[in-house]
Amino acid sequence: MQKSSIVIAGGGSTYTPGIILMLLEHLDRFPLRKIKFYDNDEERQKIVADACEIIIKKQCPEIEFIATTDPETAFTDVDFVMAHIRVGKYKMRELDEKIPMKYGVVGQETCGPGGIAYGMRSIAGVIELIDYMEKYSPDAWLLNYSNPAAIVAEATRRLRPNSKILNICDMPISIENNMVEILGYEKRSDIVTSYYGLNHFGWWNDVRCAKTGKDLMPQLREYVRENGYLVQSDIEEAKQHGDNSWNETYRMAKDIYVVDPETLPNTYLKYYLLSDTVVEHTDPEYTRANQVMDTREKEVFEACLAIKEKDDFEGNELMMDEHASYIVDLATALKFNTYARMLLIVENNGIIENFDPTAMVEVPCLVTANGPEPLSVGKIPRFQKGLMEEQVAVEKLVVDAWEEGSYQKLWQAISLSKTVPSITVAKKILDDLYEVNKEYWPELK
């Protein structure tokens, strides 16, 4: 089987070690000859890279490994760029979350004003990765999961329309793993799902047994009505979406489910449909960014330093991100033309019949060596359509604002977000966000 060369952009990410362990676990179907790390923070990346080098040497010494901050070294001779950068790092995520909360508005990484601020930072970062890839490895694919994926996807659709970039999210995958557990099946391929929406803003409208075609929605509805998506393994096992905060989010799916019992919602809809409850339950002085810095970030970096210190990897220091094997599924499908069915963020173009053809929507696709072939969704109900029209306008206005350097468009974007009560509050939040984002956003006039 032909071996691939990959670069992980955002080598210093908290997710990198888990992804390396997962890639090493799947070499039989996605063989690798080279793994490179690229980051613009040398010091941060080095801690992760030193540990990963020890792991790779131990588990698969024939794979060549390099960590670099030099774009030419990083992007030359690669088949795939796997990108998870966070422009502004956790310091800026904390501000994205805390500034809206000052005004009683949801403060979240990808939703509402915080997500908009993050979008204004991420666009240039991801465009830069595309340009490096096209300069040094023009045939490669960029698999992007850097957030906010919805805004990044709209920006790359407009600014790099012919580039080989695919945007993907792990939230539906994680929820589908829970559906499998709820249904008593073993693995995700035991079910076939239909889903539509925008990124972090969508619904399942069909779940079937892969073997028999049996409709599994009635059984799922009954469970979700009582428990949301929370399952036993969330409480018992250490896994990515398994801490108390995620458990609460999974449980809360029951409170958003009730407004449309026909479909099953993405957990992220809580920020839009239950904004008041979310704000009430958030400590404005200690938000999710603080939790992540005090747990995942601290634990991953301590584990990496310990591996480096003893110059050995025993196998239990870091958590393997098995759920992230969707990244391997995607790369394998592109490399070996597998026609795997996956949810991707693609241009609508009539896939959702009664929705803006230029919107970037998250829908099932068959993934071939030539890219994704989206599957038709048909017409969607008025409730979802209404919500999506509003949200897609927010995302498009953010990209307008970024392209035009327009204060007015960004004010409109924040005002239009369902999480924000008025243009007055929107303006206050915008002014505070702009003040701290001067280094990252284009100048606004």
Known catalytic residues?
170, 268
Which stretch in 17-25, 167-175, 285-293, 296-304 sits in contact with Mn ion by CB under 5 A?
Answer: 167-175
Q: Using CB under 6 A, pick the residue from 26, 29, 33, 44 that binds ligand NAD.
A: 44
Cβ–Cβ < 8 Å for 191, 180: yes
Please list every residue from 79 through 108 that binds ligand NAD, using CB under 6 A.
84-87, 89-90
Q: Using CB under 6 A, pick the residue from 41, 42, 72, 237 that binds ligand NAD.
A: 41
Q: Which does 384 bind (CB under 5 to 8 A by kind): ligand NAD, ligand G6P, Mn ion, none?
A: none
| DSSP percent split of the chain into helix, strand, coil, nearest 5 | 50, 15, 30
Nearest approach, Cβ of residue 14 and ligand NAD (Å): 4
Name the residue number minimizing CB distance to Mn ion. Answer: 169
With a CB cutoff of 8 Å and minimum separation 6, the contacts of 91 are none
Regarding 13 and contact with ligand G6P (CB under 6 A), the answer is no
Regarding 18 and contact with ligand NAD (CB under 6 A), the answer is no
Q: Using CB under 6 A, pick the residue from 34, 288, 323, 385 that binds ligand G6P.
A: 288
Regarding 198 and contact with Mn ion (CB under 5 A), the answer is no
Q: Which does 313 bind (CB under 5 to 8 A by kind): ligand NAD, Mn ion, ligand G6P, none?
A: none
Looking up tokens 């362990």 gives 21
Q: Mask of contacts with ligand NAD, 151-170, x by CB under 6 A?
A: ------------------xx
Q: Which does 176 bind (CB under 5 to 8 A by kind): ligand G6P, Mn ion, ligand NAD, none?
A: none
Residue (of 204, 200, 169, 221) closest to 270 by Cα position: 200
Handedness of CA 263, 265, 271, 276 (dihedral sign): positive
373-382 CB burial, b ≥16 within 10 A, e <16:
ebeebeebee
With a CB cutoff of 8 Å and minimum separation 6, the contacts of 265 are 202, 203, 253, 256, 257, 273
Residue (of 86, 40, 41) closest to 292 by Cα position: 86
Q: Which residues pair with 37 in a beta bridge?
A: 8, 67
Q: Which helix (H) or strand (E) holds 144?
A: strand 141-144
What is the binding site for ligand NAD (CB under 6 A)? Answer: 9-10, 12-15, 39-41, 44-45, 84-87, 89-90, 125, 145-147, 149, 169-171
**Site for ligand G6P, rule CB under 6 A:** 109-110, 147, 169-171, 288, 292
